[in-house]
Amino acid sequence: MRFYDRSSELQILKENQIQAQRSAVFTVLMGRRRVGKTALITRAYEDSDFAYLFISRDNEAVLCRKLQSSLEEQLGLKVYGTLTHFRDLFEVIMRESQDRHFTIVFDEFQTLYKVNPAIFSEIQDIWDRYHTGSKLNLVTSGSIQSLMKRIFEDENEPLYGRPTSKFTLRPFTISVLKEIMSDHCPDYHNDDLLCLYMITGGVAKYVELLMDAQCYTKEKMLNYVCRPDSYFLTEGRDIMNQEFSDEGATYFSILQMIAEGLTRRGDIDGAMQKDMGVYLQNLEKNYNMISRLKPLLSKPNSKVSAYEISDQFLRFWFRFICPYQSLIERQQFALIRQNIGNNYEQFSGRTLEQYFHAKLMETGQYTQVGNWWDRKGVNEIDLIALNQFNNTALAAEIKRNPKKISLNSLESKLDALPKSDFAKYDFTLQALSLDAM
């Protein structure tokens, strides 16, 4: 699959490189596993003087020997003797950059915690001493977002405040997914696009796997996921093992419960027999794996809320793959595939709502997009999009089958909206289905 999108991110990296010709730039690039960080960096610097240095889980001396060899091979940076400490290697780089402009990329930067946590203080000291006269374009990339946030956003950490540029690489947008499907299969059906979004959530590696295997239809995508050699069968567990350490089992259990339908805080606390508030907050704020859904414009402390797995792939994996590990071990892939097929329409119905929420936000016409429901659960509106600048709004009912949509029913639900919050908005009603994708 060819390289898609990322024009704004490429521009950031290239502008930072130009700036570094005058003064050093320290860029932090974050993003979930497989979202395409390495491909982006390679694309941005393929025609320039740069070294890509991967931080592996090695002894510090072994890691330094590897990085020293890579520096000599990729930049021609000769280092006499054998370096065994990362601080010495980094100081060589900073000294060289006093007279020479080049780019250094440290990929999986957070792994240095496993190598030697003191390295971050050493980097801070060397950066502070040398960066003023340096022409280095330094890029640090990492996929364990909780650790990357801790390294660079915790004010108690040594590298807090040092980066000059910081951004997160997101999955492909709806418009890019549509472009990819059109390029590979111009006559695709909307349900094929929905299935691609449901499985991948726009994560570049997942999309690439399906497109390279010529899985352009819903049936072929689901069959590919359930193959004995499928990358997707183990990917969810790999993500969990990468992100979590000692308390991984607790987070795993919470995500399983949410996937099974226990979405209320009280239900989760009851099932775990203890207060899960800290764990839920971490999953939402630090790991970006779940979202706390509240009725649109409700008060920040509103207790009317529910949790949902926000990562599309993990939402799919915890619902259809994770609970059936025994079937996978017994090679019963046909049963897993059958179960997905039997529950596909119901499961993809909620995915369709998320699709339209994301699509409307991408238009840039709305300041807020969400759904709304009352305390009793009698009135529920699938989508409300607000423009707070011109007081216009869109309310929509979303169903896979357009014949099941009633705009009269939707109009009556609008009467239940709190007048104090919504009275100033001029609403347009819309029916959104597979046909409107």
Q: Does pLDDT of 81 surpass 90?
A: no
pLDDT over threshold 80, residue 130: yes
How far is Cα 345 from Cα 287, in angstroms, rounded to an integer?
29
Return the residue matching tokens 């926000």: 310
**pLDDT value of position 243:** 86
Mean pLDDT throughout 226-233?
Answer: 96
Long-range contacts from 236-241, C-beta under 8 angstroms, 24+ separation:
236/313, 236/314, 236/317, 236/318, 236/321, 236/322, 237/322, 238/33, 239/32, 239/33, 239/314
Buried b (16+ CB within 10 A) or exposed e, 365-386: ebeebbbbbeeeeebebbbbbb
Residues 277-298 have pLDDT tens digits of 999 999 998 888 999 999 999 9
> Which one, of 358, 248, 350, lies nearest residue 306 by Cα?
350
3-state helix, strand, coil in the chain (%, to 5): 50, 15, 35
Q: What is the mean pLDDT of residues 179-198?
A: 98
Alpha-carbon span 124 to 163, nearest angstrom: 11
Helix (H, G, I), strand (E, B) or coil at 53: strand
pLDDT tens for residues 296-330? 999 887 888 999 999 999 999 999 999 999 999 99
- Identify whether the C-beta of residue 377 lies closer than 8 Å to the C-beta of residue 331: no
Q: What predicted TM-score, i.e. pTM, was given to this entire model?
A: 0.93
CB atoms under 10 Å from CB of 317, counted, come to 24
Instruction: Say whether pLDDT at 225 is over 90.
Output: yes
C-alpha distance from residue 29 to each of 140, 163, 167 (Å)? 6, 10, 5
pLDDT tens per residue across span 360-385: 999 999 999 999 999 888 899 999 99
Cα–Cα distance for residue pair 298/376, rounded to 1 Å: 15
Let me know: does 130 contact 78? Beta carbons within 8 Å.
Answer: no
Which phi and psi (to 5°) does residue 381 adopt? Answer: -115, 125
Helices (H), 168-231: 174-184, 190-200, 204-212, 218-225
Predicted confidence at residue 414, as pLDDT, reads 95
- Report which DSSP code applies to 50: E
Integer Cα distance of 252 and 274 in angstroms: 15
- Distance separating alpha carbons of residues 373 and 383, to the nearest angstrom: 10
In the predicted model, what is the mean pLDDT of residues 189-203? 98
DSSP-derived secondary structure letter, 363: T
Q: Which residues pair with 308 in a beta bridge?
A: 291
Tokens at residue 392, please?
């216009």
With a cut of 80, say whether residue 247 has pLDDT above it: no
- What's residue 98's pLDDT? 96
Token pair, residue 298, equals 């409700």
146: confidence class by pLDDT, cuts 50, 70, 90: confident
The partner residues of 27 in beta bridges, in order of sequence, read 139, 165
Q: What is the CA radius of gyration of the chain?
A: 24
Q: Average pLDDT of the chain?
A: 95
Q: How far apart are CA 307 and CA 292, in angstroms?
A: 5
Closest CA to 35 of 236, 205, 197, 208: 205
pLDDT in tens, 209-222: 999 999 999 999 99
Q: What percent of the chain has pLDDT over 90?
A: 92
Q: What is the pLDDT of residue 27?
A: 98
pLDDT at 301: 78
